[in-house]
Amino acid sequence: MTLADLSFYLFTIFNGLRVFSYLPQIVRVARDRHGASAISYATWLLWTGANATTGLYAHINLHDNMLAVINWLNAACCVLVVALTAYKRHRAHFPVEGAAGRPESTALMVDNVC
Protein backbone atom coordinates (compact mmCIF):
# COMPACT_ATOMS: atom_id res chain seq x y z
CA MET A 1 0.00 0.00 0.00
CA THR A 2 1.37 3.37 -0.97
CA LEU A 3 1.19 6.55 1.07
CA ALA A 4 -1.34 7.89 -1.47
CA ASP A 5 -3.54 4.80 -0.94
CA LEU A 6 -3.33 5.16 2.84
CA SER A 7 -4.25 8.84 2.69
CA PHE A 8 -7.19 8.05 0.39
CA TYR A 9 -8.55 5.36 2.74
CA LEU A 10 -8.11 7.49 5.84
CA PHE A 11 -9.77 10.45 4.15
CA THR A 12 -12.68 8.28 3.00
CA ILE A 13 -13.17 6.66 6.41
CA PHE A 14 -13.02 9.84 8.46
CA ASN A 15 -15.16 11.91 6.11
CA GLY A 16 -17.71 9.11 5.92
CA LEU A 17 -17.81 8.92 9.71
CA ARG A 18 -18.12 12.69 9.94
CA VAL A 19 -21.57 12.50 8.37
CA PHE A 20 -22.69 10.24 11.22
CA SER A 21 -20.98 12.37 13.86
CA TYR A 22 -23.61 15.07 13.34
CA LEU A 23 -26.33 12.76 14.68
CA PRO A 24 -25.59 13.29 18.42
CA GLN A 25 -25.64 17.08 17.91
CA ILE A 26 -28.89 16.91 15.96
CA VAL A 27 -30.49 14.77 18.68
CA ARG A 28 -29.30 17.15 21.43
CA VAL A 29 -30.74 20.17 19.64
CA ALA A 30 -34.00 18.34 18.93
CA ARG A 31 -34.40 17.43 22.62
CA ASP A 32 -33.36 20.83 23.97
CA ARG A 33 -36.19 22.71 25.69
CA HIS A 34 -34.41 26.02 26.15
CA GLY A 35 -33.83 27.29 22.63
CA ALA A 36 -30.56 25.47 21.91
CA SER A 37 -28.62 28.42 23.30
CA ALA A 38 -25.28 26.59 23.12
CA ILE A 39 -25.42 26.44 19.31
CA SER A 40 -23.54 29.16 17.43
CA TYR A 41 -25.22 30.15 14.18
CA ALA A 42 -21.98 31.72 12.93
CA THR A 43 -19.99 28.51 13.44
CA TRP A 44 -22.57 26.18 11.92
CA LEU A 45 -23.18 28.49 8.95
CA LEU A 46 -19.43 28.71 8.35
CA TRP A 47 -19.19 24.90 8.39
CA THR A 48 -22.18 24.75 6.02
CA GLY A 49 -20.48 27.11 3.57
CA ALA A 50 -17.13 25.32 3.82
CA ASN A 51 -18.70 21.92 3.17
CA ALA A 52 -20.97 23.12 0.38
CA THR A 53 -18.20 24.97 -1.47
CA THR A 54 -15.78 22.06 -1.05
CA GLY A 55 -18.43 19.86 -2.64
CA LEU A 56 -18.88 22.36 -5.45
CA TYR A 57 -15.11 22.55 -6.00
CA ALA A 58 -14.79 18.77 -6.00
CA HIS A 59 -17.61 18.43 -8.52
CA ILE A 60 -16.60 21.22 -10.92
CA ASN A 61 -12.81 21.33 -10.68
CA LEU A 62 -11.81 17.82 -9.63
CA HIS A 63 -14.68 15.92 -11.27
CA ASP A 64 -14.82 13.83 -8.09
CA ASN A 65 -18.47 13.10 -7.48
CA MET A 66 -17.90 11.00 -4.35
CA LEU A 67 -15.97 13.81 -2.65
CA ALA A 68 -18.68 16.25 -3.73
CA VAL A 69 -21.48 14.09 -2.34
CA ILE A 70 -19.72 13.55 0.99
CA ASN A 71 -19.24 17.29 1.42
CA TRP A 72 -22.81 18.06 0.38
CA LEU A 73 -24.07 15.53 2.95
CA ASN A 74 -21.97 17.30 5.57
CA ALA A 75 -23.44 20.62 4.47
CA ALA A 76 -26.96 19.18 4.68
CA CYS A 77 -26.31 17.99 8.24
CA CYS A 78 -25.08 21.47 9.17
CA VAL A 79 -28.21 23.02 7.63
CA LEU A 80 -30.31 20.60 9.69
CA VAL A 81 -28.58 21.72 12.91
CA VAL A 82 -29.14 25.39 12.00
CA ALA A 83 -32.80 24.79 11.06
CA LEU A 84 -33.52 22.82 14.25
CA THR A 85 -31.84 25.52 16.31
CA ALA A 86 -33.92 28.23 14.66
CA TYR A 87 -37.08 26.19 15.29
CA LYS A 88 -36.16 25.58 18.93
CA ARG A 89 -35.33 29.24 19.53
CA HIS A 90 -38.58 30.32 17.93
CA ARG A 91 -40.51 27.86 20.14
CA ALA A 92 -38.65 29.07 23.24
CA HIS A 93 -39.62 32.69 22.52
CA PHE A 94 -43.17 31.97 21.35
CA PRO A 95 -44.36 28.83 23.19
CA VAL A 96 -47.51 27.13 21.97
CA GLU A 97 -50.24 26.90 24.60
CA GLY A 98 -51.01 23.38 25.77
CA ALA A 99 -54.36 21.91 26.75
CA ALA A 100 -54.21 23.40 30.26
CA GLY A 101 -53.71 26.94 28.91
CA ARG A 102 -50.05 26.96 29.93
CA PRO A 103 -47.25 27.30 27.41
CA GLU A 104 -46.50 23.83 26.07
CA SER A 105 -42.87 23.85 27.21
CA THR A 106 -43.94 24.67 30.79
CA ALA A 107 -46.79 22.16 30.68
CA LEU A 108 -44.36 19.43 29.63
CA MET A 109 -41.93 20.32 32.40
CA VAL A 110 -44.66 20.30 35.04
CA ASP A 111 -46.24 17.11 33.71
CA ASN A 112 -42.89 15.31 33.77
CA VAL A 113 -42.44 16.13 37.44
CA CYS A 114 -45.77 14.65 38.52
User: What's the pLDDT score for residue 114?
Assistant: 31
How far is the CA of 94 from the CAs of 10, 13, 54, 106, in angstroms?
45, 42, 37, 12
Q: What is the pTM of this model?
A: 0.76
Provide the pLDDT confidence category of residue 103 given band limits of 50, 70 and 90. Answer: low
Q: Average pLDDT, stretch 2-20? A: 90
Q: Does 107 score more than 70 pLDDT?
A: no
